Structure 1
Amino acid sequence: MDTLRKGDQGPQVSQLQQLLTRRGYAAPGTGVFDTRTWQALRAFQIQNLDQHGQPLVVDGVAGPLTWWSLQNPKPAIVTPSAVDYTVLPATGGSARGRAALASAIAELKAGAGEQGGDNRGPFVRKYLAPAGLAEGNPWCASFVSYCFLQGAGGDQAKMPFPYVASARSLLAEFKDKGWASTPGDGYMPQPGDIVVWWRVSLAGWLGHTGLVHSVQDGMLYTIEGNRSPNVQGFSYVLSRMDKLLGYGHVP
């Protein structure tokens, strides 16, 4: 397939529009790469991965990686790890943070994740519902909020922060309470902390979040939703955290 940009026309643009609409990103079937098609394509790129499990570049251009992603399910990401994500660390973190992490582990063990398409399925609906959102929306922050909700016994009034569906809004709640740390301040994340990254642009509004599982031998281990189709564990070199916005610790 050709690389397509705003202003292009023809049968391949029509195919692009059909694929976007089929995946839940409504685009006109005009064969003209107009503003609505560009917006739909960017929305798709924000929420999907290439064949290597990496986030697509959000540029509104239909290149080879975007074409692949449009025509294939979101790939699972294989992440070898030195820790067992299904086991709660023996020590570390606050009681409320550990309760949220225990909920995340339970979801991981239950095989939680997308079913029937991008950002869809009963697990995704479960995470999004308390935020008043329907399936089809990104769910990483809703997953974290859900874990803290379960840690609070399912009572939103007892959650340490409001149930939010945006990674940056989640970090903002922690900042307002004085519970956040910024990159470079020397904070060592603990089990049950939140970790938040920026996406696309540092100054933008897009982000991603997960829960800290543990820190061992210079590695950060997390449990995240919506980075791959499943709730899954991931590992990072702690000293080389790319696009990190900060951590949040519920006391």
Structure 2
Amino acid sequence: MQYPGRLIKVGESDAAIVQALKARLNRDPSFANDPKLRLDESNPQFGPKMRQVIKLFQARHVDSQGRPLKQDGEVGAITWAVLFGEQSVPQQGLSAYPLLNQLIQVAAGEEARRVREIPPDSNRGPDVERYLASVGLSGGYSWCCAFTYYCFKTAAGQLHRSNPMFQTGGCLRHWQMAEGQGAQRILAADARANPGLLQPGMLFIMDHGGGLGHTGIIESLLGGLLTTIEGNTDASRTREGGGVYRLVRKVGEINKGYIDYGPC
């Protein structure tokens, strides 16, 4: 059964979805020896007991990356994929837009070169300063947004077209100004409910408070999991890491939203 593109939770009105979930949960080996957890598949209601069983399922399973599921008693894309298989959730490896596919190729090339700050933890180094210079900044500044701008600028040049991205080294400034460039914005809450709204080549924006943010490029998607290429980060997924890395993030980690320059 394919993911319906929204959170499934208490009060769900689609009886077929509720009954399919109950049947799948009843078949789960972790519940086989506990009749008290068996759900009535003839009842089309998503009530408190079903929520309890889903929370228990989430506590006993991990996602495709081996990470714990969020124990909230709601079925989003990641929990759905664990229940029904990865083929049941949206999967995207290519954009419909040539510029965004070229953007991903440029970013992947930078990641393959293992770009790192020199010296470590300095926001400096030949590559880092090249990214910063593309937005008019010198070495020493946070550079995740400058990395995305540099990749956009390079990709656009390779395709002999204009660069649509707003020129800035500030993640939250970019969020504010992107629509004025013709880009579309997707709120984080909308993407959590329906990861199918997202496409490769979109940029994610995180807000860390105090005017600080982080950004990166979506390379591919599998349901509620994003493979990203990011600058100024590391394997801990921090906003002040020392290089360009390919990471896997949950859609739920992104708290601000996404910017889509594809239609520009």
Q: TM-score per shorter chain, which class?
A: 0.5 to 0.7
Which amino acid in the other structure matches residue 212 of structure 1?
Answer: I
Which amino acid in the other structure matches residue 241 of structure 1?
Answer: E
Task: Find the residue that maps to 1:225 and give its secondary structure.
Answer: strand
8 Å contact from structure 1 (residues 196, 209) kept in 2: yes
Q: In structure 2, which of residues 153, 171, 175 is the aligned counterpart of residue 171 of structure 1?
A: 175
Structure having the higher helix fraction is 2
Partner of 1:34 in structure 2?
Answer: none
Partner of 1:245 in structure 2?
Answer: 256
Question: How big is each residue's C-alpha offset from its partner over 1:138-197, in whole Å with a ceiling of 9 and x where there is no partner?
Answer: 000000000000111179981112321111122223233351111222362211110000
Percent pairwise identity: 28
Partner of 2:49 in structure 1?
Answer: none
99 and 154 in structure 1: CA distance in 2 versus 1, 3 angstrom threshold? closer
8 Å contact from structure 1 (residues 93, 193) kept in 2: no
164 and 115 in structure 1: CA distance in 2 versus 1, 3 angstrom threshold? same
8 Å contact from structure 2 (residues 227, 247) kept in 1: yes
Question: How big is each residue's C-alpha offset from its partner over 1:68-87, in whole Å with a ceiling of 9 and x where there is no partner?
Answer: xxxxxxxxxxxx79xxxxxx
178 and 249 in structure 1: CA distance in 2 versus 1, 3 angstrom threshold? closer
Number of equivalent positions: 160
Q: Residues 108-187 of structure 1 correspond to what in structure 2 (within 5 A)? A: 108-117=111-120, 118-153=122-157, 158-176=162-180, 177-185=182-190, 186=194
Question: How big is each residue's C-alpha offset from its partner over 1:196-220, in whole Å with a ceiling of 9 and x where there is no partner?
Answer: 0011x2xx32110000011114311
Partner of 1:195 in structure 2?
Answer: 204
**CA positional deviation for 1:223:** 0.6
Q: In structure 2, which of residues 96, 100, 105 is the aligned counterpart of residue 102 of structure 1?
A: 105
Larger Cα Rg: Structure 1 or Structure 2?
2
Partner of 1:219 in structure 2?
Answer: 225
2: CA distance between counterparts of 1:214 and 1:116? 31
- What are structure 1's unaligned runs of at least 5 residues? 1-79, 82-88
124 and 195 in structure 1: CA distance in 2 versus 1, 3 angstrom threshold? same
TM-score, scaled relative to structure 1: 0.58
- What are structure 2's unaligned runs of at least 5 residues? 1-64, 67-91, 235-241
8 Å contact from structure 1 (residues 149, 155) kept in 2: no
Deviates more, 1:149-158 or 1:125-134: 149-158
CA-based RMSD: 2.4
**CA positional deviation for 1:90:** 5.0
